[in-house]
Amino acid sequence: MYTPQVLLDSNAEILKVASGFRPDLIVSASYRKKITASVLNLCPDCVNFHPSLLPKHRGCWSGFWCIFDGDTETGVTCHRMVEDFDAGLILQQERLQVESTDTSFSVYKKLLPVTANCARAVFSHYFSSTGLPPGEVQRGESSYHYRKLPFEGLIQPEWSEEQVERFIRAMYFPPFDGAALLVNGRPMPVESLEAYRCLQRSSAASPMVEPHSCAPTQDHSVVLPC
């Protein structure tokens, strides 16, 4: 019987442990490291579940980018793993409509059952008499996002209000910090478009205004002295 082990996340250790139990299938989901070719070559079927409709939004922060880019749908893609991130042949895709009020947090929660449906379909194929299909080449618009906080979490001065509103929703994922606006050199939290407008008006009226005057309250309402 296999005894679970705690890995130190080093490539050499992963290869050693994986080689020891000679896997028939390798499954990756929300794993943040690149799996090396030496591990992927241990078995014929290596699959990853990625929270976007590949080839769009490869890499990190896919929930953020689907909202900030104004996508009308997102989803989950199961693909065969290759050395390049999220670039392998597609085995299954499940789609989800993105609503105009969605946040990164709400999209994340909605994608959980979508991921389960995708996994159910893939594993049904795997355990069938025919096994997994070869997969299909990724087609369409592609993009890749690195593991860094988009725009350092700050609303950019050249953005339209539509972009600002999408950014606020895209940055919402408690308990992490949300969107912020730089006021008098200080990042001030912005939880709504009205709060953003208030900070803009206050800053324009008096460059030395105390930025907390438009800050959100604990119940997420906004104090508007403007």
Report pLDDT for 210: 54
CATH number at residue 38: 3.40.50.170
Q: What are phi and psi of 12, to 5 degrees?
A: -65, -40
pLDDT (tens digit per residue) in 118-139 = 999 999 999 999 999 999 999 9
Report pLDDT for 208: 54
Q: What are phi and psi of 47, to 5 degrees?
A: -125, 150
Contacts of 77 (CB under 8 A, 6+ apart): 49, 50, 52, 53, 54, 86, 90, 92, 93, 118
Residues 18 and 92 in one domain: yes
Contacts of 10 (CB under 8 A, 6+ apart): none
Range of lowest pLDDT (5-9, 54-58, 191-195): 5-9
pLDDT (tens digit per residue) in 54-93 = 999 999 999 999 999 999 999 999 999 999 999 999 999 9
Residues 164 and 133 in one domain: no
Residue 226: is its pLDDT beyond 60? no
User: Per-residue confidence at 211, pLDDT binned at 50, 70, 90?
Assistant: low
Domain that holds residue 135: 11-145
Q: pTM for this one?
A: 0.86
Q: Is residue 2 part of a domain?
A: no
Say how many domains are in the chain.
2
Domain boundary among 145, 170, 193: 145
Residues 133 and 73 in one domain: yes
